[in-house]
Amino acid sequence: MSRRRPINLFNMSFLDCICCGFGAVILLFVIVNARSVAVQHERVADLRGEVSRLEFEVLKGEKNLVQIRNALDESREELVRTEGRARRLLEEIRIIEQELAEYDDTTLATVEHVNKLKADLVSLEEEVNRMKAAVEADQEGARMREFKGTGDRHYLTGLKVGGERILILVDCSSSMLSNRVVDIIRRRNLPVADQLTAPKWRQAVRTVDWLSTQLPPESRFQLIGFNETAFPLVAGTGSTWLDAGDPEDLERAVTALESLVPEKGTSLTLAFDAIRGLPSPPDNIILLTDGLPTVGTRRPRGYKVSPRRRFQLFETATRTLPPGVPVNVILSPMEGDPRAASAFWRLAINTGGSYLCPAEDWP
């Protein structure tokens, strides 16, 4: 029988120690690892909270960025509009400065013109005094119509009423209702009867009535009114000359003018274009008006016409006149049109006609 190996207690104890130590190490590792996992979970939770906060901040920032971009776009659009308004204002300022410069020149020319007119008036009065008796005696028996007035008519002797074919152009625009813009607007909204009794318009009618008594009986005439169109006062006679020796023709023309209501704008171009419709050109033109034209051959787009544009319309109209025909101007100037006096005075002088501004009580 074999002998049993003796048990070495030291070896067993050593193995126990090793196992216990290894178990202790494993236990320590488990404990430490568990703590590390808990700490890591806490850190992850904190980081997730931070990420959520940052994501919220990013979303908020993006929203603010969109608002800022929209505000920036609106600011840019407003800047463009402001720059456009600034350019328009600068252009208006430039135009106003040019008009002011033109007004200054016109004022100086008007002063010189008034002084010359005063000198001419003195000369005409002396001439009238010399010729008064002879003229009245000669004309009394030759007149086809009688005219009675209270004003001093004799200073108009310098007006050239003679000729074989006499064309009388009468401004029938709404500005003939008054010399002031405010009164024109007010009267334009009154009944027709009140418009027909406007002092300025009544003076124009009386002027034509007086002219009809001064026409030579052997001459022929035509009476044409004009505003935004041109039309014969005696309907259906726009292409013929009327007989100045026929009292009925004279009476029909004056009566038609008396019942006409001034309205619309003023087209001097169409008034002068009416000459082309006559069978033969006139050898004397008498123009009754109150200022520079406001309309050309067609209505303007806007309601406001600048003084510069009105003068351009005047120059365009005068270029259509037949050459060699004197234009005698009777002007009843209105406010806000300082260039009219000098412009029509030059027209009369350049064509060999005369220029007159009658007094309020004439004829």
Instruction: Render 285-301 in DSSP notation, one character per residue.
Output: EEEEESS--S--SS--S
CA distances from 361 to 37, 198, 199 (A): 117, 14, 10
Residues whose CB falls within 8 Å of the CB of residue 142, separated by 6 or more in sequence, listed in order: 216, 217
106 in any annotated domain: yes
What is the enclosing helix (H) or strand (E) of 138?
helix 9-140
Pair 124, 185 in one domain: no
**241 and 266 assigned to the same domain:** yes
What is the span of the domain harbouring residue 87? Answer: 38-141
| CA–CA gap between residue 64 and residue 58 (Å, rounded) | 10
Residues 181 and 92 placed together within one structural domain of the fold: no
Per-residue burial over 339-351, b if 16 or more Cβ lie within 10 Å, else e, is bbbbbbbebbeeb
Write down which residue in 141, 160, 179 finishes a domain: 141
Are residues 121 and 219 located together in one domain of the fold? no
Report helix, strand and coil shares of the chain as percent, to nearest 5: 60, 10, 30
Q: How far apart are CA 181 and CA 260, in angstroms?
A: 20
What pLDDT was estimated at residue 138?
Answer: 53
Axis-axis angle for helices 307-318, 339-351 (nearest 10): 10
- Supply the pLDDT for residue 108: 66
Joined together, the tokens standing for residue 211 give: 């002219």
Instruction: Look at residue 22 and tell me if it is in a domain.
Output: no
What pLDDT was estimated at residue 152? 42
Structure confidence at residue 150 (pLDDT): 45
Q: Is residue 97 part of a domain?
A: yes
CB atoms within 10 A of CB 71: 10
Instruction: Based on the fold, state whether residues 137 and 156 are members of the same structural domain.
Output: no
* CA distance linking residue 147 with residue 251, whole number of Å: 12
Residue 156: its pLDDT value, please?
47
Q: Kindly state whether residues 116 and 195 are assigned to the same domain.
A: no
- Asked if 225 and 285 sit in the same domain, the reply is yes
If one counts the domains in the chain, the total is 2
β-partners of residue 164 are none
153 and 118 share one domain: no
State residue 95's pLDDT score. Answer: 85
- What's the CA gap between 200 and 127, in Å, rounded? 29
165-171/220-226 β-pairing: parallel
Q: How far apart are CA 16 and CA 12, in angstroms?
A: 6
CA pair distance 185, 175, nearest whole angstrom: 9
80 lies in some domain: yes
Report the distance separating Cα 301 and Cα 45, nearest Å. Answer: 75
Beta bridge partners of 289: 331
Residue whose pair of structure tokens reads 């600034």 in the numeric block: 86
Kindly state whether residue 12 falls inside one of the protein's structural domains: no
Contact 270, 229 (CB under 8 A): yes
Domain containing residue 271: CATH number: 3.40.50.410
Q: Write out the chain's pLDDT in tens, 363 residues.
A: 556 666 555 566 777 778 888 888 888 888 877 777 777 777 877 788 888 888 888 888 888 888 888 888 888 888 888 888 888 888 888 888 887 777 666 666 676 777 777 777 777 777 776 665 555 545 544 555 554 444 444 444 467 788 999 999 999 999 999 999 899 999 999 999 999 999 999 999 999 999 999 999 999 999 999 999 999 999 999 899 999 999 999 999 999 999 999 999 999 999 999 999 999 999 999 999 999 999 998 776 666 788 999 999 999 999 999 999 999 999 999 888 889 999 999 999 999 999 999 888 877
Statement to judge: residues 165 and 110 lie in one domain = no
Could you tell me if 123 and 241 lie in one domain?
no
CA distances from 174 to 157, 291, 293 (A): 29, 12, 12
Residue 334 is assigned to a structural domain of this protein? yes
In a domain, residue 24? The reply is: no
> Based on the domain organization, do 89 and 169 belong to the same domain?
no
The residue among 118, 141, 164 that closes a domain is 141
Same domain, yes or no: 131 and 253: no
Domain boundary among 141, 174, 206: 141
Contact 167, 273 (CB under 8 A): no
Which tokens go with 123? 């000369």
Closest CA to 250 of 139, 150, 141, 166: 166
In a domain, 297, yes or no: yes
